[in-house]
Amino acid sequence: MENVEGASHKAHCLVLSYPTQGHLNPLLQFSKRLESKGLKVTLATPRSMYRSIHRSAASISIALETISDGYDESGIIEAESVEAYLERFWQVGPQTLIQLVEKLNASGCPLNCIVYDAFLPWGLDVAKKFGLVGAVFFSQSSAVGSIYYHIYKGFVKLPLTEPQVLVPGLPPLKQQDMPSVISDWGSYPAFLEMVLNQFANIDNADLVLFNTLYELEKEETDYLAKLWPLRTIGPTIPSMFLDKRLQDDKVYGFSIFRPNIDACMKWLNDRPKQSVVYVSFGSLAAVEAEQMEEIAWGLKGSKSQFLWVVRASEEAKLPKTFVDQTSEKGLVVTWCPQLEVLRHESTGCFVTHCGWNSTLEALSLGVPMVGVPQSTDQSTNAKYIMDVWEMGLKAPADEKGIVRREAIKHCIREIMEGERGEAMRRNADKWKKLAREAVDEGGRSDKNIDEFIAKVICSSSTPKKA
């Protein structure tokens, strides 16, 4: 460690993020870890994303830069379709990334490395053009990465025809346990192409980084580590919620929405220990109106107190009388500080879509989960939460794909009241302990970050291409 920390600012790393909060914040957290260990870090994302996010300046010491996705004013909202957006981004992004590298190289502290989001594989091409270390960063689990890789290589054929899917290193999966771009064949062609193209040039990457902890996915990670120089570096959440070694690292720093912090925390402070069901479906998920109604009445029927995050764009989907009928036991807000809520002693259960960041947060803070997956990798994460990590339940959906109120009510009661819930709570506490150990000094993730830094610093003595 001494050699790494002693090499302060002898190396410079550019970290490139795909433009969503679920990708930007994990890469920001990784950047904070790198900076705390002596690297100079510049974090870059498309201008459209930069314009749309709220920034907590006190929590961000990382230098920020932008590239273009071809839609600098409002990003994907401007585009005719997802396909049009990605096509334009893939044309413009590499060119403006090259311009950014040239700008930084001329700034007096030239780059030695590019860490690029796996969704942006052309980041590696730019790194190699300038003779830089190129490291790919996956904002998903090893299990999901393995699924996508085996489909990319043709080892798992699409569309799926068998009821059970076998992927090396993973437990047997049903079709409904697979990411939605696979199980709901033909539903998201542009997104499917993007997640498969994560592996287009991965064999040329100097390091492959996964935002997970090894103890959580040993078999899955070991299998992929046979293919590439893979290192687990997660969970990437603020240090003060884990090892507490970075005293200023208390929040992520980027948010699409302004959280109603005071109202949320005041309400939670008045509630008994582990009495509250926290409900949130993240910053992007658009929940169907029918599903919103079922969640609402399931919450009401559960008899538990609840804090429900319903974004302003989703509020019209709530049953008209729901807020009035439940005002004595529930609070509905448009946004709140999720980590603070999960850490609060009154929170006893987390009902969520099981996005990977939300899953890591609940796991790192020891909160049992009820999974109501909506899209992308969430069904796979929910499968693991219930059957592999045994720290929650995946609420069963009907033939229409809707989780009904009785299922919501039953899952909440199982966790909040039943003996099974106590077992899940013990498992959640186990993962919480392992998550903290992974990122603390000498933990596996911490050592892997040190190894990455040493490789970058070593490269700083190697002449770069013009």
Q: Are strands 54-55 and 254-255 parallel, antiparallel or unpaired?
A: antiparallel
Given this model, what pLDDT does residue 445 score?
98
CA angle 394/396/401 to nearest 5° reads: 120
Given this model, what pLDDT does residue 256 score?
72
Mean pLDDT, rounded, for 1-21:
72
Given this model, what pLDDT does residue 6 score?
38
Tell me which of 23, 150, 344, 353 is the catalytic residue.
23
pTM of the predicted structure, to 2 decimals: 0.95
Per-residue model confidence as pLDDT tens digits over 142-200: 999 999 999 999 999 999 999 999 999 999 999 999 999 999 998 889 999 999 999 99
Tell me, yes or no, if 23 is annotated catalytic: yes
Per-residue model confidence as pLDDT tens digits over 268-305: 999 999 999 999 998 777 899 999 999 999 999 999 99
Confidence of residue 56 (pLDDT cuts 50, 70, 90): low
Given this model, what pLDDT does residue 55 score?
62
Given this model, what pLDDT does residue 5 score?
40
Q: How far, in whole angstroms, is CA 178 from its chain's centroid?
A: 17
Tell me, yes or no, if 9 is annotated catalytic: no
CATH superfamily, domain 259-433, is Glycogen Phosphorylase B; (3.40.50.2000)
Residues of the chain with CATH 3.40.50.2000: 2-245+440-459, 259-433
What gap in Å lies between CA 270 and CA 346, rounded to an integer?
A: 9
Confidence of residue 463 (pLDDT cuts 50, 70, 90): low
CATH superfamily, domain 2-245+440-459, is Glycogen Phosphorylase B; (3.40.50.2000)
Confidence of residue 4 (pLDDT cuts 50, 70, 90): very low
Tell me which of 12, 54, 69, 117 is the catalytic residue.
117
Given this model, what pLDDT does residue 60 score?
65
Confidence of residue 1 (pLDDT cuts 50, 70, 90): very low
The percentage of the chain sitting over the pLDDT mark of 70, rounded to a whole number, equals: 95
For residue 305, what are its two tokens? 């107190």
Neighbour order of strands in the sheet with 276-280: 330-333, 305-309, 276-280, 347-352, 369-371, 392-394
Given this model, what pLDDT does residue 215 score?
97
Given this model, what pLDDT does residue 465 score?
52
Confidence of residue 7 (pLDDT cuts 50, 70, 90): very low
